Amino acid sequence: MTATGVYVYAIVPTGEPLPRKAVGVGDPPAELRLISEGPVTAVVSDAPPNLRARRRDLMAHQDLLMRLTDTGPVLPMRFGMVAADEATVLRELAGSREGHLASLRHLTDGVEINLKALPAQDALAVVVAEEHQVRRLRDEVRRRPGYEASVRLGEAVAAALSRRASEAGKKILRTLTPMARAVAAGPEVHGCALNVSFLIDRHDSDRFRIAAQSFADSHRAHVELRIAGPLPCYSFVPSRPARATAAGT
Amino acid sequence: MTTMYADEIAPCPPRAGTLYDVLELILDRGMVIDVFVRVSLVGIEILKIDARIVIASVDTYLRFAEACNRLDLERDSGSRTIPELFGAGAAKSVGKRKVRKAAESVGDSVRKAVGGGDDDDSDGQEEQHERPRKRRAPARDSSSRRRRAEA
């Protein structure tokens, strides 16, 4: 098994216990273990053969990180990070110790909350009512039905939905940013007008969620908001903390 | 008004857990360490994770147009005024069903790409489903997505 490498889930402060009955990726789920180097510890398991981003393993990765986040600061690894062997992990921990400690301090008592703004597709009737251009094209289609007219109408609907979501997205970003320790734009998601993560004090996360939800409720005709979290701080870890030469390759 | 919307949305609740809503974070964010190897994600359409997103394509346009026309039909048959129509739950749900249907195929294909679980809400059962299905349809998992994680 070890021939396929060491799957690395997270870096935590040394002394953090593993969550009870927590398991790793793979089928059967891999047994977790800790590799400590002074004050920093990597949570790892054997990497299963033929590892890929299947649903089961994504869930396992996410679940473990969620549970670790419950008990202390965590530097969550991106899914699928595999070290050649334990020695490589140890060298990495030793070589980047100060950076990891600083990152852990930065994230102490912090959680990530992700917000996605999607076009409010359920509000089609409101769009027809409120958007002059859509209204006009719809009347045109009714007078003279046809392929071209339908495409123009549909395009106008899609554009209006996107614009409304984008405007509402900017508004909620302005509303919520003052409540966050940090804000990070997420990867572009097709169809999302906004994908942004907030670093929130753990004890503030309920208040933040309520504020976001209340905005969502009052802007349903413009935007569909997806609020996810509290999450491990995926978006607030340095993506290149290691010294590139640490492996001596 | 707000309450009514919320009730209507209920049949399509957020998916179990938060996996689909944060998939791109798990795959694209999180810490990267140069000396580690990363599992390849080639072939995984992670960015089309949502079943209800607007797709800018002629097909979607036509479905939107059709949904708008349904709203019109509703008005004709019901002899309602426009304000009544737009306040009416029935009219909204017609349009909504259409649109949701329009996007379903996208979500389906992505669900397959992400590992075959066709039931988002029953994570516990997913693992039992996953393996038999793969055996039956090995061709779907083309070699583009099956790569190794070795150093």
Question: How confident is the model over A32-78, as pLDDT tens digits?
Answer: 999 999 999 999 999 998 888 888 899 999 999 999 999 999 999 99
Tokens representing B145? 């997505």
Does B141 score more than 50 pLDDT? Answer: no
B93-115 confidence digits (pLDDT tens): 444 444 444 444 334 434 444 44
| Shortest distance, CA B78 to any CA of chain A (angstroms) | 16
Q: How many CB atoms lie within 10 A of CB B82?
A: 13
Q: Cβ B126–A190 below 8 Å, yes or no?
A: no
Residue contact B149–A51, C-beta within 8 A: yes
Nearest residue to A158 (alpha-carbon basis) of A132, A135, A124: A124
Task: Tell me which residue in B30, B52, B92 faces A234 most closely, judged by beta carbons.
Answer: B30
Chain A residues in contact with B22 (beta carbon < 8 A): 62, 114, 228, 231, 234
Q: Are A48 and A26 in contact (CB under 8 A)?
A: yes
What's the CA gap between A120 and A128, in Å, rounded? Answer: 13
* Predicted confidence (pLDDT) per residue in A112-131, tens digit: 999 999 999 888 889 999 99
Amino acid at B107: G
Render A114-166 in DSSP notation, one character per residue: EEEEEE-GGGHHHHHHH-HHHHHHHHHHHHS--HHHHHHHHHHHHHHHHHHHH
Distance from CA of A178 to the nearest CA of B (A): 22
Beta strands in chain B (DSSP E): 37-38
B79: closest CA of chain A, how far (Å): 16
**Which pLDDT belongs to residue A116?**
92
**What is the number of helices (H) and of strands (E) in chain B?**
6, 1
Q: Is A141 on the interface with B (CB under 8 A)?
A: yes
**B37, A84: Cβ pair inside 8 Å?**
yes
- Of all residues in chain A, what percent carry a pLDDT higher than 90? 81
Give the Cα separation of A37 and A180 in Å (integer): 32
Distance CA A93, CA A39 (A): 9
Q: How far is A125 from chain B (nearest CA, A)?
A: 6
**3-state secondary structure at position A75:** strand
B71 vs A181: which has the higher pLDDT: A181
Question: Is pLDDT of B120 > 90?
Answer: no
What's the distance, Cα to Cα, between the start and end of chain A in Å? Answer: 23
- Decide if domain A111-234 falls under CATH 3.30.1450: no
Give A150→chain B minimum CA distance, Å: 5
Assign B13 a pLDDT band (cuts: 50, 70, 90). Answer: very low
Q: Are A125 and B38 inside 8 Å of each other by CB? A: no
Contact between B36 and A81 using a beta-carbon 8 Å cutoff: yes
Of B6, B24, B56, the CB nearest to A189: B24
In chain A, list all ranges with CATH 3.30.70: 111-234
Residue B25 to residue A197, Cβ atoms within 8 A: yes
Q: Choose, out of B25, B71, B100, B119, the residue to mutate when testing the contact with A (most A CBs < 10 Å).
A: B25
The ipTM assigned to this model is: 0.86
**CA B25 – CA A113 distance, rounded (Å):** 11
pLDDT tens track for B21-59: 888 899 889 999 988 988 877 666 554 444 455 567 888
A88 touches chain B (CB under 8 A): yes
